[in-house]
Structure 1
Amino acid sequence: MQWALWALAQAPADRDYQGPEGVPNKPGAAKPGKPNTDVSVDDVFGTGAAKPADKPPEASKPAEAAKPAAKPNAGGSDLSMDDVFGAGADTGSSEAPKKGSEPAGTTTARDLELDDVFGGGSSQPSGASAGPTTTVTTTTPGPSDKPADAGAGKQKLQSPSEQILNKSGGKLHTRFRIISSLHYDVDRAEPRKISRNENRVEFYFAYTPNKHVQVVGEVDPVLMGTNQSRELDDLASQVYIQRFHLESRAAYVALTDIAPGLDIKVGRQIVVWGTADKFNPTNNINADDLEDRPLFTEPIANQMAVIDYSPLRDRDKLYFQGVYIPLFFPALLPPSAAAGLKDPYAETPFANDRELAKITYLQEDYLPKNPKLVPRVFGHVEMPENKFTNGQFAFKMGSRLGEVDISASYYYGRHDIPLPVQATTTQVHALNDPTDPPDGYWFRSDVRLIYPKMQVIGLDFATQVPFLGNMGLWGEAALIIPEAKQFHIDLPPLPGGGVDVTPNDDMANPEAFIAGPAIKKQPFLKATAGFDYTFGKHVYVQAQYLRGMINEFGAGHIGNYILGGTDLIFFGRKLVFRAFGMVDLPNNNPKGKGPSGVIAPALLFAPPWGYVNFELGSFALLGGDKTYFGQRATGSSIVYFKVIGSF
């Protein structure tokens, strides 16, 4: 019943980089600062809060109340290639940033480019326009007109967000986006079809009346274009014809510097820990959104209270963070997850070889010879009760030691992907009945799934290597201590007491069930390590080693993976060719099944007239049906198209 992951996305250019969608701002991995729990514009509308260090834009927040993040430059010009990768040599590496200089991701106010829509960390300065700044020529003054000031022949037009910011005296920062995307199944699906069409409107605001208070909110009305009507009655309901729902990534109040170095935030928010790209084993506070593959592992906001404390004047030197989450929120799974559960031949999460041998015989030998015994599977998720005793909490301590940022963390809560613990089998149609059952199944299996408890002890670091051209290095590891759980599977209730699932012992010993540990009490390790580098001004490369994917849980269930990719940047980042891929190592899969993988090419384009961005990409899944990326739970191979308008 193991669910595979349904996508991968590109990696960060640096540690200040907030996710995979954008182009790197500087070569190497800049170091994270104080942990970020505010939701910035990029967090809400672009890449998600994929970094632990940056503070939100807080456009209207007074300087003295802000965290020690670099301030954007006051100038206004288009972002050039030099702004992105530095003005170093056309080949080779650039100089390491000097201490005290502005961190990677700080740029001047500029026109809308790929990073504004597809990510790029904190490169968007506070109050910068979401669209391009357009200039228009004014009329020539006549004889009765007052003399024009020098340089007043042109005036800048402001975006709606800039106008709101200026009219509010810098206290109200807003941003609006419209996103339309379409996915088409091109392989591993029958029939090939449009599988997903999402149309989203995003509204974000951050109001800062003074240096101690900030109110942040964001709401996204979402219309799914595929209609779900199946019966005549469904055509009379908008629920089936137009699938509509609301999402929110932020709804909280922040109290800043209520005591020296002490901040508190209460409400719906996102807290992201870890230094790796996307695959962060130390990041467990917010559940993952795994439904939309191009936005893979996007965090889902949840209600929580967050306390940040920095006892030193230089807050990066030492900081503490505490988080309490009263309500458990599960991961959002793709439709293929249910297909994986209902597949009677899918891998089951037994941890011992004895039970694995029994279920392997049942799946590969007995059931194919006796198809009437294949059950129809129904999944039933057991959610934790909404009680304070089921709350989650986490603590983190971080510091900067020279050129290295490190942190240690602890989390107590639950794994956000459900795992099966019991499968109850009942007979619903007599085997000797001459008529076949209407649905084609003689047996029914009801699977109970739970969210197991766990404790996570984490360590992470990020740095740059000046003598290697500021090559970025990062790594994190999580020692996970799980709650032990058994898995019990009822076998078909046949005459004689069940099914003999040990035919090689020369004894007739039918069994009524297979039971054994699915999750051992034994602690297990997940880890990610990677590097990135920029060649000249137009080529970015990255690679990561992963031990353990997001859905893998428990000793004996952890695989090993390699991820790598590149960006080719042209025309001042108006055009980007991207290719990323992931492969699992052969020992992850059953013997003789070989490796599996996924390839994700994409083309990102920003037209010269601004305000609009396009993305065309694909996710191609490779491997046999018994491999990690080839199993049914991974879903289909897709081509997708996305258009985004910002103002």
Structure 2
Amino acid sequence: MYRHVRRGSATVCALALLLGTASAQADELELDWSGRIQSDLRFRMQPVGVGEWYSRQELPAGVERNWNTLGLKLEANYGRFHGVAAVDFVWSGVPERMTAIGDLSRVEKAEPYRLEARSIYMEAEGIFVKGLDLRIGQQVVSWGVGDQFNPTNNLNPDDLRDPLLFGRQVANFMVKADYWINEDWSISGVLVPLFKPAMLPLSGSLAVAQLDRLPFVSDSLRQRVVAEQAAAQTLFGHPTIIGNVTPVLPEPTFDNMQVAYRIAGTIKEHDVALSYYNGRTDFPQPRSNHTRQALGRRCNPSDTNDCVEGLLLTDVTLEYPRMHVYGLNVTGEVNPFSWISEEINGLGYRFEGALVVPQSQSIRLTNDALALGIPQAAGEYDYDGDGQPGGPGGREPLVVDNTPFLKWVLGLDYTFGEHVYVNAMWVHGLVDEYGAGDWIKEGYTVRQSGVIEGSNVLACALSKNGQTCSREILRPRLGDYVVLGADFKFANQAGMFRLFTILDATPLVEDTWDDEQGKRVQRKISPLSAEGFSMVIFPELDYNFGNGLELAAGALLQLGKPYTKFGSPETGGSTVFTRAKYSF
């Protein structure tokens, strides 16, 4: 690390005097530089993709990424004032897709690069009144206590571009004030003027491309749409595919500013915090679908007998609904074995819970005039099937209702001597899961849907009732996960082997029509069965050579059927990785 110290300037001294924080003797300005050089090389073990030949989206096997990063951090201290600037310069070794000969002259295409501001802020201690600290600028505010899973961390958007850095968040401009009542208790307030969305991985587009995962809360509407899409494809040769997907961010108005408050303190060596957040979910929800027709016969290049007469393209608009989040964090250590020996390590525990009160969001369905076997006029969808779009009972269907729901993390950790650390957690609801639906209150999201083989899809479509034709695999909107991990250190603490696993403990449901019973029936699919099993296995070997050099290698194995949580294509599939980092 390089350090430079010099006397403060008259301007800085004048500012300190103005704020009433200058000391009788001039303070010194201290500058601390640090940085890192890091190279990540990652390989996707098998291709993952969605869609048929006419709409196929696929991520190939091979090099998944090659990110080369130069990270620089500057910290400045002058008395009670502190400033931080941390930026990453990232070069990608994987060229972007070339679409024209002119792209060969553009270095940003051949060697993509970007600049990311990790933090740029300034803060002052004891400003205006004793005990009041103020921080302004690009920053990350982490109030959660869970290990990587933090349902109360809502001020910053989630950064899911790199699954190996799960739990990371993107810095955002904030004004944060902390008032220390005494040494143990503080009150905090944060204002976030501009909303930022979550950053998604490259595989994130595959989630939206799976049109069989219909978002409607209404069972009957989903069943009807499944039948109509099947009829359009099988009878009229027009399959439905995804068109344009447009996320719409909130306008930068006063009404769309985010605010949060927290009171935190210590009770008999146990840390406790209560928090409140008023803002939006940073994961988008569908707000409108518009269907248009693309005429023209197309045939599968691999099978000239496999043809379609045209396509129905659905353009999707996404929005970010409002929500209120009430949080509780408790963490500490207990030692149930202290009666044996005071030298036995204590057992660490942490609980992080969030009560989320969402704003309901509906979706508007419209279409151009569609020239199918049964022509359909342009306009809004007939939601209730009475032949009068928008009439009585024809309200826009919900994709998220306003029912409150809970997310939480309960974790225990223990250290065995100097070489072994173990961690166990129960996680209820991941960052991308939103809306009421779990073992507390019923509510599902669709993981796969289609028509029952041999069913009369035309009759279902014409009757506007698809319950005898559709089959769905459903999953509660909020899942439960068992997280187990351990770190094993060796070679005088220079080497470490890490093994973490995440088991999806959420049962699935198959919902279908039963002719014998004359009704729809549900069959539970156990998370321990071959059909419902889904798991992440993350082994990593890391070695610190000293003087700042670290090398690591490992794998991220995501297992399960394509409709499960971790086997789904949008996770990006299983990868192996190597990483080299030099810190200075």
Kindly state the Cα deviation for residue 487 of structure 1 after the two structures are TM-superposed.
2.9
The one-letter code matched in structure 1 to 2:197 is: P
For 2:103, which of 206, 230, 234 is the aligned residue?
234
Kindly state the Cα deviation for residue 510 of structure 1 after the two structures are TM-superposed.
9.4
Stretch deviating more after TM superposition (357-366 or 610-619): 357-366
Q: C-alpha offsets along residues 432-451 of structure 1, whole Å, 9 cap, x if unaligned?
A: 99x99999952211001011
Stretch deviating more after TM superposition (609-618 or 164-173): 164-173
Partner residue in 2 for 1:597: 535
Q: Secondary structure at 2:153's aligned position in 1? A: coil
Partner residue in 1 for 2:178: 308
Partner residue in 2 for 1:481: 357
What is the 5 A alignment of 1:20-59? none
The one-letter code matched in structure 1 to 2:209 is: K
Task: Say whether the 8 Å CA contact 1:491–1:511 is kept in structure 2.
Answer: no
Q: Secondary structure at 2:76's aligned position in 1? A: strand
Q: Secondary structure at 1:257's aligned position in 2? A: coil
For 2:433, which of 552, 560, 569 is the aligned residue?
552
What is the 5 A alignment of 1:619-634? 619-634=556-571
CA shift in 2, pair 1:484/1:215, >3 Å: same
CA shift in 2, pair 1:439/1:256, >3 Å: farther
The one-letter code matched in structure 2 to 1:329 is: K
Q: Distance in 2 between matches of 1:572 and 1:640?
A: 25
CA shift in 2, pair 1:166/1:640, >3 Å: farther
Kindly state the Cα deviation for residue 308 of structure 1 after the two structures are TM-superposed.
0.4
Task: Say whether the 8 Å CA contact 1:342–1:378 is kept in structure 2.
Answer: no
Q: Distance in 1 between matches of 2:225 and 2:564?
A: 17
Partner residue in 2 for 1:69: none
Partner residue in 2 for 1:222: 90
Partner residue in 1 for 2:348: 472
TM-score, with length taken from structure 2: 0.75
CA shift in 2, pair 1:514/1:542, >3 Å: farther
Q: Does 1:282 align with 2:152?
A: yes
Q: Secondary structure at 1:281's aligned position in 2? A: coil
What is the 5 A alignment of 1:398-477? 398-429=264-295, 442-468=311-337, 469-477=345-353
Structure 2 segments unaligned to the other structure (5+ residues):
9-27, 49-58, 338-344, 378-384, 438-476, 511-523, 526-530
For 1:635, which of 569, 572, 581 is the aligned residue?
572
CA shift in 2, pair 1:200/1:601, >3 Å: same
Q: Distance in 2 between matches of 1:291 and 1:199?
A: 15
Q: CA RMSD for the aligned pairs?
A: 3.1
Kindly state the Cα deviation for residue 564 of structure 1 after the two structures are TM-superposed.
0.8
Kindly state the Cα deviation for residue 215 of structure 1 after the two structures are TM-superposed.
1.7
Task: Say whether the 8 Å CA contact 1:289–1:300 is kept in structure 2.
Answer: yes
Task: Say whether the 8 Å CA contact 1:322–1:393 is kept in structure 2.
Answer: yes
Partner residue in 2 for 1:113: none
Q: Distance in 2 between matches of 1:490 and 1:571?
A: 64
Q: Secondary structure at 1:340's aligned position in 2? A: helix
Partner residue in 1 for 2:65: 196
Q: Distance in 2 between matches of 1:525 and 1:310?
A: 30
Partner residue in 2 for 1:260: 130
For 1:299, which of 148, 164, 169 is the aligned residue?
169
Q: Does 1:333 align with 2:200?
A: yes
What is the 5 A alignment of 1:177-192? 177-189=36-48, 191-192=60-61
Task: Say whether the 8 Å CA contact 2:41–2:67 is kept in structure 1.
Answer: yes
TM-score, with length taken from structure 1: 0.68
The one-letter code matched in structure 1 to 2:569 is: R
Q: Secondary structure at 1:641's aligned position in 2? A: strand
Task: Say whether the 8 Å CA contact 1:542–1:566 is kept in structure 2.
Answer: yes
CA shift in 2, pair 1:573/1:357, >3 Å: farther
Structure 1 segments unaligned to the other structure (5+ residues):
1-160, 500-507
Q: Secondary structure at 1:385's aligned position in 2? A: coil
Kindly state the Cα deviation for residue 163 of structure 1 after the two structures are TM-superposed.
4.5
The one-letter code matched in structure 1 to 2:165 is: L
The one-letter code matched in structure 2 to 1:628 is: K
Q: Secondary structure at 1:329's aligned position in 2? A: coil
Task: Say whether the 8 Å CA contact 2:297–2:308 is kept in structure 1.
Answer: no
Q: Distance in 1 between matches of 2:247 and 2:543?
A: 42
More strand by share: 2
Kindly state the Cα deviation for residue 277 of structure 1 after the two structures are TM-superposed.
0.8
The one-letter code matched in structure 1 to 2:316 is: V
Q: C-alpha offsets along residues 38-82 of structure 1, whole Å, 9 cap, x if unaligned?
A: xxxxxxxxxxxxxxxxxxxxxxxxxxxxxxxxxxxxxxxxxxxxx
Kindly state the Cα deviation for residue 431 of structure 1 after the two structures are TM-superposed.
7.0
Partner residue in 2 for 1:77: none
Partner residue in 2 for 1:584: 504
Q: Secondary structure at 2:567's aligned position in 1? A: coil
The one-letter code matched in structure 2 to 1:176 is: G
CA shift in 2, pair 1:199/1:559, >3 Å: same
Task: Say whether the 8 Å CA contact 1:559–1:588 is kept in structure 2.
Answer: no
Partner residue in 2 for 1:15: none
The one-letter code matched in structure 2 to 1:193 is: G
Q: Secondary structure at 2:150's aligned position in 1? A: coil
CA shift in 2, pair 1:495/1:559, >3 Å: same
Q: Distance in 1 between matches of 2:395 and 2:571?
A: 26
Stretch deviating more after TM superposition (635-644 or 184-193): 184-193
CA shift in 2, pair 1:191/1:245, >3 Å: closer
Q: Distance in 2 between matches of 1:271 and 1:240?
A: 34
Question: What percentage of residue pairs aligned between the two structures are identical?
Answer: 31
Kindly state the Cα deviation for residue 479 of structure 1 after the two structures are TM-superposed.
0.7
The one-letter code matched in structure 2 to 1:482 is: P
Task: Say whether the 8 Å CA contact 2:229–2:239 is kept in structure 1.
Answer: no
Q: C-alpha offsets along residues 458-490 of structure 1, whole Å, 9 cap, x if unaligned?
A: 111001012244111111111111111113445
Pairs aligned (count)? 473
Q: Secondary structure at 2:45's aligned position in 1? A: strand
Q: Distance in 1 between matches of 2:206 and 2:395?
A: 22
Task: Say whether the 8 Å CA contact 1:491–1:514 is kept in structure 2.
Answer: no
Q: Distance in 2 between matches of 1:475 and 1:573?
A: 29
For 2:418, which of 530, 534, 537 is the aligned residue?
537
Q: Distance in 1 between matches of 2:3 and 2:559?
A: 49
The one-letter code matched in structure 1 to 2:351 is: G
Q: Secondary structure at 1:327's aligned position in 2? A: coil
Q: C-alpha offsets along residues 513-564 of structure 1, whole Å, 9 cap, x if unaligned?
A: 9952111011111111110112233221111111111011111221111111
Q: Distance in 2 between matches of 1:342 and 1:567?
A: 38
Q: Secondary structure at 1:526's aligned position in 2? A: strand
Kindly state the Cα deviation for residue 399 of structure 1 after the two structures are TM-superposed.
1.5
CA shift in 2, pair 1:340/1:413, >3 Å: same
Q: Secondary structure at 1:442's aligned position in 2? A: strand
Kindly state the Cα deviation for residue 164 of structure 1 after the two structures are TM-superposed.
3.6
